[in-house]
Structure 1
Amino acid sequence: MKKVNIYFNRWFSVAFHYMNLIRNNEDGIPFQIFATHPDPQHMSLQGADVAGTEPALKGIEYVQFCVDFCRRNEIDIFIPRLHMLDIALHAPMFDAIGTKVLVCRDLDLLKSIMDKGRFYENVTDKGIMIIPDYHVVRTAEQFKVAYQDLVAKGHRVCFKPTETEGGLGFRIIDNDRIPLQELFGHVTPLISFDEAYRILSGEAFFPDLMVMELLEGYEYSIDCLADENGKLLAAVPRRKAGGRLRLMEHIPELELIAARVAETYKIPFNFNIQMKYSGTTPKLLEINPRMSGGLHISCLSGINFPYLAVKSALGGEVQPAGFADNVLASHVEQPLIMRINGESAVHDTVN
């Protein structure tokens, strides 16, 4: 059986797990996995059969690099993370060489999802989820008004850039901080209003910030699988359960939200919905139109999310999948010898 060639461009370290989940699939389909990253010793490359070094490019130049890489290596499936919007914009270039790209092709939706302010407006119009109270600001005075409004509504307040990944730029306003204790303790996301206002006042305008109510209940990451047309095939709500523990559990209202998101937006393949509770009400944090950083944990539910997305993209039949019982999981460090010039991985430096 001919091997299927899969390519991951610059991904997080957890792509190591995605690659092995695809490789160790239940159908016994053979895969050859390619990956590129600017750091030739990045952990994600350790899961690849063929690894390459990415150049520092943006826009159409980066897309052309990916197209050339796919053409040269006869890539069947491309799973992008870096510059996903540019790649989606030029997806026909990959179609022309026979490479299937696992990306949402609804460009307006993709642009909206990547800007949290715009997407909150979209969700509000659709009425499919509840969103936190928030303001989008660009000046220090707007920041002050937003903060005062949220406090008047009884909220604790946090803020983060509207265009960011993970926890980058996330801060919680806490006016009871003791700076000296923090200086000798762990780094925290806490900042006083006065300090934040002082910093922001140093610029006439700054990139959009979302100032919002701080949600203090459980945070759930709902890993979702859909077919190429956006039909939902699986959804697993996952949350932290103390320390390294992670709990995958059936939460009917969150599973219903996943179904509504899939029906409304038709995001194909793998995507992730982040919700956080305010009391008994789940509110949207964000949606990621890609595999989440914790997806390999959700696969312990028995659903091989990365492989099933690839199988669907290859035209295979994928049935709706569920998990019977709640699953409590954790992880331990695994020592690994880095393969730099090893026989099992060829590192092809690309200029």
Structure 2
Amino acid sequence: MTNVWLNRWFSVAYHYTNLIRNNEDGMKFTMYGTHPDPRHMSLQACDHAEVEPALPDADYVEFCLEFCQRNSIDVFIPRLKMLPIAAQVQRFESIGTQVIVCQDVPLLKKLMDKHEFYESVLETGIMEMPDYYVVNTVEQFQSAYAKLVEKGHKVCLKPTNSEGGMGFRVIDNNRDRLQDLFGAINRYVSYEEVVRLLSSVERFDDMMVMELLEGYEYSIDSLANSNGELLAAVPRRKAGGRLRLLDPVPELLAIAQRVAETYRIPYNFNIQVKYNHGVPKLLEINPRMSGGLHVSCLSGVNFPYLAVKSALGMDVPVQTPHYNILASHIEQPMLMKEMTNP
């Protein structure tokens, strides 16, 4: 029996856990999960679950090491605090735990800071980038906004160190604010609102002011072996409502190959791109499983399990995904179970 632990993850870790357990090789796993919320959805598929503490980086790494040793964890799949964990990966390996994380700490640090990583991609030239500026004063924001508008762009903004859609806003000066007040919550703000808010402080955390990309957005779920050699890539996009299309766009598959060859990110990673005027441009690269990875597994590639298999030193061949799959999902009620190890 092989013991696998996922620390604080998103709710979709429920699917990752079941994908690892219900693998095509019939390999047996005991699944461990931790989260600050004892009733979090990610824990419901686990064989053993515990509440994890809120700790600073160094103390959290010690908690992780103790948890792995106490539970004889063979494979640890972290999301929370990947960077300090990666910096101590040899300590995990010394107690027999393989960690599914990018062990190139300088690269991982870049991947988690959009400005640093954008600069890196610009140097390599492996894909197109949106026009952007990094600002931390209102005057810099005003200058960046003016330059982007002069180039004919619509403008959006996002913190450089945010995850997913956190902090993303689109500048739109033609909104009916009263109608917005009575409508759904949205991501639109006016230029004047942004200037007013940013003027309230002398400096703020780094923020990217960039070209708004208005075409299709794709998540390219990618799998590599422990050496960073690409084994599979599945471009996935929204196809209206809850529909998702697994779409084998040649230029996106080529981007995944170039990213793998350039950065050698091991195991699971996700490339987010969005089109503008027919050109796919980089949004971000996440060195972890994506929130929609379970949908991409409908391609026949069991991304979470194959990453675990590779981490255990087993051979994982290049995969042949099935594409042109239209997928969706519905909610399903379920009975919650209490933790086995409160």
Pick the aligned partner of 1:103 from 97, 101, 104.
Answer: 101
- SS class of match (1:158): strand
1:61 lines up with 2:46 in the alignment: no
One-letter amino acid matched to 1:313: A
Deviation at 1:214, TM superposition (A): 0.3
Gaps of 5+ in 2: none
> 2:8 pairs with 10, 35, 40, which one?
10
**What TM-score do the two structures reach when normalised by structure 2?**
0.99
Q: CA offsets, 1:268-312, max 9 Å, x none?
A: 000000000011100000000000000000000111000011111
Q: How far does residue 174 in structure 1 lie from its aligned partner after superposition?
A: 0.3
CA contact 1:224–1:232 (8 Å) conserved in 2: yes
Aligned partner of 2:69 in structure 1 is: 71
Asked if 1 retains the 8 angstrom alpha-carbon contact of 2:300 and 2:322, the reply is: no
Deviation of residue 45 (structure 1)? Answer: 0.4
Cα pair 2:234 2:247 within 8 Å, conserved: yes
Q: Distance in 1 between matches of 2:299 and 2:168?
A: 30
SS in 1 for 2:44: helix
1:22 positional shift: 0.4
* Alignment map for 1:1-351 (pairs within 5 Å): 3-340=1-338, 346=340, 348-349=341-342
Counterpart Cα distance in 1 of 2:281 and 2:337:
43
Q: CA deviation at 1:249?
A: 1.0
Q: Give the distance between the partners of 1:319 and 1:276, measured in 2 at CA.
A: 30
Aligned equivalents of 1:166, 1:324: Cα separation in 2: 26
* Equivalent pair of 2:2/2:29 in contact (CA under 8 Å): yes
Instruction: Give the aligned residue type for 1:289.
Output: P
Q: Which runs of no fewer than 5 residues in structure 1 stay unpaired?
A: none
Aligned identity (percent) is: 63
- Per-residue CA deviation, residues 98-149 of structure 1 (Å, 9 max, x unaligned), is 1000000111111111110111100000010111000000000000000000
Q: Given that residues 58 and 83 in structure 1 are in contact (C-alpha distance below 8 angstroms), is that contact kept between their aligned partners in structure 2? A: no
How many residues align structurally?
A: 342
Contact 2:155 2:211 in 1 (8 A): yes
- Post-superposition shift, 1:325? 3.7
Q: Secondary structure at the match of 2:232?
A: strand
CA RMSD of aligned residues (A): 0.7
Contact 1:35/1:51, CA 8 A, preserved across alignment: yes
Counterpart secondary structure, 1:47: coil
- Distance across 2 between alignment mates of 1:257 and 1:322: 17
